[in-house]
Structure 1
Amino acid sequence: MTDWPPGGSDPLLDALQSDHLPDTGHADMAGLLRDRRLGRVALVSSFGAESAALLHFVTRILPGVPVLFLDTGRHFPETLAYRDALAARLGLNLVILRPDPALIGAEDADGRLHARDPNMCCTLRKTFPLADALAGFDTWISGRKRYQATTRAALPAIERDGAHLKVNPLAFWSEADVAACFDRHALPRHPLVGRGYASIGCAPCTRPVRPDEDPRAGRWADTPDKTECGIHLGPDGRFARARPRPDSPH
């Protein structure tokens, strides 16, 4: 899976879609997640507003699946407490990823990189650590859903993400489906949800949303052109590290 795309076709992706996702009305997500052709699988979670639904759904199907959490060093304290509570409640195999402290020290010494260059801040704190961790896996699972934003309206349930497969098990769920999952399984809500946070990322770049806004409007609200943190690549995407600066040992 390191030399994709081979001739512009993807027989593995086509086969998985044919077997488990012939159309949106016949999506066998459990069968897809258990398919051995996915290889080594990890789940990536932000422990945000709706994360408990994904974590419960997937770990009932794949007990013990590694759950990767990107500890950027800029999370709300409530998110870290929620992460620990959910990990204990659901018996998660939690793996905490952190950015390179030397790189952060060199590039964000004053802690204001998020204001100067939010894309670079996400790259250092999220993309690079996740790229390193995913080198040990063939497939990763995300919690993205179509209803979250117009930019996700055509989100597929399974896709290519660089050399990896990526599964979005809740892609076709509605907001009501997520709420029903929380209610059915008595899942705790993130403590910031009650304060108007519909999508929760790092504290400096997240605000509450208004009732007329889409759930992700509070993310990078001061940077209108930025809608994603950068960990979600396109089919021919690659995680590419910038070359070290001449005066940097890293």
Structure 2
Amino acid sequence: MTDPLTAASPVVVGVLNVTPDSFSDGGRYASLDAAVTHGVQLITEGANFVDVGGESTRPGAERVDAATERARVVPVITELAAAGVPTSIDTTRASVAAAALSAGAVVVNDVSGGLADRDMVRVVADAGCPWVLMHWRGHSERMRDLAVYTDVVKEVCAELGARVDAALAGGVAAHRLILDPGLGFAKTAEHNWRLSARLDQVVALGFPVLFGASRKSYLGSLLADTRGPRPVDERAAATIATTLLAVDAGAWGVRVHDVRANVDAIRVWQATKAAR
């Protein structure tokens, strides 16, 4: 199966949450048939690979046990791999990552950057697969309390650098690492905007950068009206704007729910750049 790191940038990662409680599409793809059908559709719409998650990481979410998480993701990844769909496993647990890789996943997307499970670095190093290291300070139930920074961009870059050092020390090859600034994870809306505006500083760390703003609450707050924040399923245009700003700043890829619309926008951006 094609290595996602060899795909031409910008890469588009399609989101597939097989959970009952994710902030955007919780429960929609909880059945195996629905999940597999949607995963195939995301590839048809232009995703380079599909990110399968079995545990919600929205702020305040309660954790599920490892057995439950594995039971949610492994059958889906097995079926998608059989259909030729490249997948990543969105997990902080080494045991879940190992099971997903055995089932056919080709990337580990770890929102904890290796902090949540010390065995993750061994699993990734042994597999030789790409590893997304996201900036993270704690699990969902306490992340709001950890959103304290003096200079969010400087501190996120430094903390991501520490995760890179730990990965390299654990035997993971540098060319297999991807960084994610972790918008919304132990960050306020103001922190998200600052990271977005200065994303080039994260890119300057020298690793591919995956940017994930799709449908997030800070976009809903920005677009609020008399009814309150813009509903999750009405944030597609705002997400597209963040995608174009991110790829223009040098991001390697974006992680999105609405694949076709974002792929279309990137194609327009690419054509415009090529015509200069």
For Structure 1 versus Structure 2, the TM-score category normalised by the shorter chain is: 0.3 to 0.5
- Larger proportion of helix: 2
Higher normalized contact order (CA 8 Å, seq sep 6+, divided by chain length): 1
Q: Which has the larger radius of gyration?
A: 1
Q: With the length of structure 1 as denominator, give the TM-score of the two structures.
A: 0.32
